Amino acid sequence: MKRTVYGHLIGGLCLLSFAGLAVVTKLWFPEVYLLEWTCRHSYIYIWAWVFYLTAVRKEIIAVALSVGNLFGVIVGQVYGSYLFDIDMTKLEAGIDIGRGYPQNYSFAIYIYSLLLTFILGVLIQFNFFRGWQQRVRKDEEEKKRIAWAHIIGILCLVAFQFLWAFTNTYSPDMEHFVSGWTAEHHYLYCWALVCYFTGIGKPVLSVSLTLGNFAGVYLGDRAGSFFRELAMREIPWDIPNDEMLLAYQAYYQNHNGLAIWVACVFLFLILGAYIQKKGLRAICPGWLKRGLIRVKEGWLKFYNS
């Protein structure tokens, strides 16, 4: 229990390092090449791996990735810019640098830093150095449970990717605002929670969150269209400003559609948490339970006969 609490505290601090670096970049270094690029691309989603590694109790690797991200961004920007300035100075002086133009190695240094710290974290985590951590042996049932949780988690992530690809085939217009907006904002990173639930072996939560996102996107779009029609009926058609009409329609659709999406995600997540804790039988009515028991008994009789 203590190890789990400490592991989550360490994971939270690692995630705070990503958030802090993003805030510093936005406030003070919005035009610095590597800091701006990594922040704009969400640090190539390394923080999602920190979510997962924290869940599977691989805190040392999570810390290594977080340190590698900070180290790579700072050293990559400073040393990469230094090498770039040297090449520019040589080029202006007429010295051949072996290439037609100078290159900025900041991103390459950033990637190499991540790889090196990741490898070092793996070596420490899996006890390649002197017994820093005891290896935990799992029985066969536990291995099967973890394997199925990971398979289901991967399928849920594929479902998010499929929905994103399907949404991008349509323009985020008035008819499909919720799907377009949530896809543009990466479904507000619900898929990162799927990574976490997969790591802690809670596949029902992963499935419920995925289904909640699907239901919220669909119902949000449909409800948005419905409320838009209601808004159009209430607006007098003699308004001279067309932009005011469009803004009024968009408000009704956007506000209600997003609220429905959030409600669906939370409701499905609560239902999934209840099923994960109590089991699927907890929500089955009595007649269905009795029917399943009879089917099972009949199958056993047929199989043993």
DSSP calls for 210-264: HHHHHHHHHHHHHHHHHHHHHHHHHS-TT-S-HHHHHHHHHHHHHHHHHHHHHHH
CA distances from 247 to 91, 171, 228 (A): 54, 18, 11
Please report whether residue 132 resides in a domain: no
User: What's the maximum distance between 2 C-alpha atoms anywhere in the chain?
Assistant: 93
> Please, are residues 74 and 38 in contact by the beta-carbon 8 Å criterion?
no
73 and 203 part of one domain: no
Same domain, 40 and 7: yes
The total number of residues written for the chain in this structure: 305
Q: Indicate whether 131 pLDDT > 50.
A: no
Same domain, 95 and 152: no
How confident is residue 267, by pLDDT bands cut at 50, 70 and 90?
very high
**Residue 234 within any structural domain of the chain:** yes
Calculate what percentage of the chain has a pLDDT beyond 90: 13
Query: Is 151 inside any structural domain?
Result: yes
Is the pLDDT assigned to residue 268 strictly greater than 80?
A: yes
Q: Is residue 130 part of a domain?
A: no
Cα separation, 207 vs 202, whole angstroms? 9
- Do 82 and 146 lie in one domain? The reply is no
pLDDT at 129 (0 to 100): 47
Reading the block at residue 88, the tokens are 């520019």
Helix (H) or strand (E) holding 273: helix 242-278
Is the residue at 152 inside a domain?
A: yes
Residues 180-192 have a mean pLDDT of: 82
Q: Which domain holds residue 209?
A: 140-304
Poorest-confidence range of 3-7, 40-44, 46-50, 278-282? Answer: 278-282
200 and 269 in a common domain: yes
- Asked if residue 236 has pLDDT above 70, the reply is no
Highest mean pLDDT, choosing among 17-21, 168-172, 231-235: 17-21
Q: Of 74, 92, 125, at which residue does a domain stop?
A: 125
pLDDT of residue 137: 53
What is the Cα–Cα distance from 256 to 5, expressed in whole angstroms? 38
In a domain, 135, yes or no: no
- Considering the domain architecture, whether residues 28 and 116 belong to the same structural domain is answered as yes
The pLDDT of residue 89 is above 90: no
Instruction: Write the burial class of residue 22 (CB in 10 Å: 0-12 exposed, 13-18 middle, 19+ buried).
Output: middle
* Whether 201 and 92 share a structural domain: no
pLDDT band at 134 (very low <50, low <70, confident <90, very high): very low
Task: Report the pLDDT value the prediction gives residue 184, as an integer from 0 to 100.
Answer: 80
Q: Higher model confidence: residue 170 or residue 30?
A: 30
Is there a contact between 178 and 216 (Cβ–Cβ < 8 Å)? yes
- The pLDDT value recorded for residue 192 is 86
Pair (215, 71) in one structural domain: no
Asked whether residue 210 carries a pLDDT value surpassing 90, the answer given is yes
At residue 65, the pLDDT reads 92
pTM for the predicted model, two decimal places: 0.68
Residue 76 predicted with pLDDT over 60:
yes
Q: Which of 125, 150, 185 is the last residue of a domain?
A: 125
Reading the block at residue 39, the tokens are 């922040």
Number of structural domains (the chain) is: 2
* 250 in the same domain as 206: yes
As a whole number, mean pLDDT of residues 143-162 equals: 86
Residue with tokens 């400073």: 78
With residue 23 as reference, give the H or E element that holds it: helix 2-28
Average pLDDT over residues 125-149: 64
pLDDT of residue 212: 93
Are 163 and 79 members of one domain?
no
